[in-house]
Amino acid sequence: MTIEVTIKTIGLTKTYKGRKGRQVEALKDLNLEIYKSEIFGFLGPNGAGKSTTIKILMGLIFPTEGRFLINGIEGNDISYKRFIGYLPENPSFYEYLTAEELLTFVGRTFEMDDKKIKIETERLLKLLDLFDARKRYIRSYSKGMVQRLGLAQALIHDPEILILDEPMSGLDPLGRILVKDIILELRDRGKTVFMSTHILNDIEILCDRVGIIVQGTLKKIINMDDLMTKGISSYILKFSKLSADMRNKLREYNAVELSETRFRVSKEYITDILYSLKLDENTELRLIEPQRKGLEVLFKEVIRET
């Protein structure tokens, strides 16, 4: 199977000209490929260059060097924009529009017909829990409401690519669950999602791959499947009952006794141990819990290396 590349950046570099001729190298030689139908997480500390990358992809700022392609279309040909739904960092919209009016406006920009706009507006306002507020001016919205509206306007034309700059930002726990579910549903429907975030847990739940960027440089790309499987170093076995025989057997395999009924065994012995387990009335195994080097550890390592 050939992998289709949806977003490709080639040597993207951005130097901002700050005040008094001070220059900020926000992005350095970014070479990235985002595959079709994947959820790619862009992870990095504050000021790493995530939003800069996203703004370049949206044509809002220009790179100092390098170029990019979206669905094979060069970035200087803005026709690629019709494929994209974009949620900016800290979205703000014209305050004297209502949510309904904003979505209609965005839908028309994407040349949707009014009937379709009406149907989609209603669906999205309900989905994002904004239906009751649909006729209120956006200026009266809370931060979380504006964020949810930001996602609604990114989804209105059912784009095949979503570029989301911190989609969970400013949301309460329920709002985050809602947005997470929406992103997972987008994946089920084969959409490509490029999202930046600080939240490691969101990445673990949502993303297929994650790119770690620090001080404008892409440091590492991690395949989450690999991290979840290959990253396993040991297992915790929890018993509710344990025969003396089994206890001895575990010791033979150098198991670390964490408590009367909990043992840590190294990855290399787990198959042998499970094989020799006699699951009779004297031994009851309750839990096998893989211990892995999580994203958090990896992230800290990458940051420390810089």
In the complex, which residues of this chain contact ligand ATP (CB under 6 A)? 16, 18, 24, 26, 44, 46-52, 89
- Sites for Mg ion among residues 46-65 (CB under 5 A): 50-51
- Report the alpha-carbon distance of residue 294 to residue 306 in Å, rounded: 19
Measured from the CB atom, is 216 or 231 closer to ligand ATP? 216
Q: How far does CA 137 lie from the centroid of its chain? A: 31
The stretch near Mg ion (CB under 5 A) out of 44-52, 99-107, 179-187, 205-213 is 44-52
Q: Enter the tokens of residue 190.
A: 């084969």
Measured from the CB atom, is 49 or 175 closer to ligand ATP? 49
Residue 287 region by backbone torsions, left for phi larger than 0, else alpha for psi between -120 and 50, else beta: beta
Measured from the CB atom, is 26 or 206 closer to ligand ATP? 26
Measured from the CB atom, is 49 or 159 closer to Mg ion? 49
Binds 6: which of ligand ATP, Mg ion, none (CB < 5-8 Å by kind): none
Residue 236 region by backbone torsions, left for phi larger than 0, else alpha for psi between -120 and 50, else beta: beta
The yes or no reply on residue 89 touching Mg ion (CB under 5 A) is yes
Q: Taking CB under 5 A as the rule, which mask of x and - marks residues 91-110 in contact with Mg ion?
A: --------------------
- Closest C-alpha to 46, from 214, 169, 193: 214
Measured from the CB atom, is 121 or 169 closer to ligand ATP? 169
Binds 56: which of ligand ATP, Mg ion, none (CB < 5-8 Å by kind): none
User: In whole angstroms, how far apart are CA 155 and each of 124, 137, 162, 192, 198?
Assistant: 8, 20, 8, 12, 22
Q: Map tokens 């900016």 to a residue.
A: 88
The stretch near Mg ion (CB under 5 A) out of 16-24, 84-92, 135-143, 183-191 is 84-92
- Report the alpha-carbon distance of residue 282 to residue 287 in Å, rounded: 16
In the complex, minimum distance from the CB of residue 198 to ligand ATP, in angstroms, rounded to a whole number: 6
In the complex, minimum distance from the CB of residue 44 to ligand ATP, in angstroms, rounded to a whole number: 5
Binds 285: which of Mg ion, ligand ATP, none (CB < 5-8 Å by kind): none
- CB closest to Mg ion, residue no: 51
Contact 265, 273 (CB under 8 A): yes
Contact 224, 40 (CB under 8 A): no
- Report the alpha-carbon distance of residue 228 to residue 230 in Å, rounded: 6
In the complex, minimum distance from the CB of residue 268 to ligand ATP, in angstroms, rounded to a whole number: 40
Q: Give the binding site for Mg ion (CB under 5 A).
A: 50-51, 89
